[in-house]
Amino acid sequence: MTRTLIICTSVSHGNTRRVAEAMAEVLGAKVVEPDQVELAELGDYDLIGFGSGIFNRRFHPDLLRFVSALPGAHGSAFVFATSGLPGVRFEPLLRALQDKGFKTAGTFSCRAFDTWAPFKPVGGIRKGRPDRSDLQAARQFAEGLRGR
Ligand SMILES: Cc1cc2nc3c(=O)[nH]c(=O)nc-3n(C[C@H](O)[C@H](O)[C@H](O)COP(=O)(O)O)c2cc1C
């Protein structure tokens, strides 16, 4: 069985955490924050997921810092994000993970409640998301990873 860990930074509304938990159910995975990870244990996992919200077009700095401090790896990684706007730029994080030796297993993103400054005056955008169908899409993505 594939042993999976999901590392998730979700600081704004808990949006990405909800997506991570949906994936974790399917994968039988634990969801942790970067500062809860024991680096020595990472070798126990075949597949590691990395996710956060998008802030100023980037993954959260805590997650990026964590990845750049990782030792070399041998397993596979998937990357996921929640964001107000479409067009998530996965490449910089994927490249950083590949540089550490991870194979890319897949990427996932969905829209989510966003109270970034430009949208604050209107009470934010994408209220109520991730919704049931977003979480269903996250589960389906995870099924695909499980069946790799
Ligand atoms: C300061 C700030 C900057 C943001 N920048 C972006 C952005 O560049 N692009 C985007 O699509 N969403 C942006 N968002 C929206 C977040 O990505 C979105 O709310 C995300 O779901 C937050 O995830 P979390 O609740 O897991 O932390 C921003 C939100 C905040 C508060």
The pLDDT score that the predictor gives to residue 39 is 92
The pLDDT score that the predictor gives to residue 148 is 74
Ligand 1 site, residue 144, Cβ cutoff 6 A: no
pLDDT in tens, 58-90: 999 999 999 999 998 889 999 999 999 999 999
> What percent of the chain stands above pLDDT 70?
100
pLDDT at residue 25 is higher than 80: yes
3-state secondary structure of 83: strand
Ligand 1 site, residue 15, Cβ cutoff 6 A: yes
Number of independent structural domains in the chain: 1
CA 52/CA 55 separation, integer angstroms? 9
DSSP code string of 8-44: EE--SSSHHHHHHHHHHHHHT-EEE-GGG--GGGGGG
Domain ranges, residue 13 = 4-146
pLDDT in tens, 107-135: 999 999 999 999 999 999 999 999 999 99
CA 99/CA 114 separation, integer angstroms? 31
> What percent of the chain stands above pLDDT 90?
93
pLDDT in tens, 32-43: 999 999 999 999
Which ligand 1 atom lies nearest to the CA of residue 124? Answer: 19
- CB of 9 within 8 A of CB of 16? yes
Q: How far is the CA of 40 from the centre of ligand 1 (A)?
A: 31
The pLDDT score that the predictor gives to residue 77 is 98
Ligand 1 site, residue 125, Cβ cutoff 6 A: no
Ligand 1 site, residue 55, Cβ cutoff 6 A: yes
3-state secondary structure of 131: coil
Q: How far is the CA of 116 from the centre of ligand 1 (A)?
A: 6
Reading the block at residue 139, the tokens are 């589960």
Ligand 1 site, residue 19, Cβ cutoff 6 A: no
Secondary structure letter of residue 77 according to DSSP: E
CATH of the domain at 26: 3.40.50.360
The pLDDT score that the predictor gives to residue 74 is 82
**Cα angle vertex 32, ends 120, 57, to 5°?**
35
pLDDT at residue 15 is higher than 90: yes
Helix runs in the chain, H state only = 15-27, 61-68, 91-99, 132-146
Among 9, 16, 55, the mutation site with the greatest number of ligand 1 atoms within 8 A of its Cβ is 55
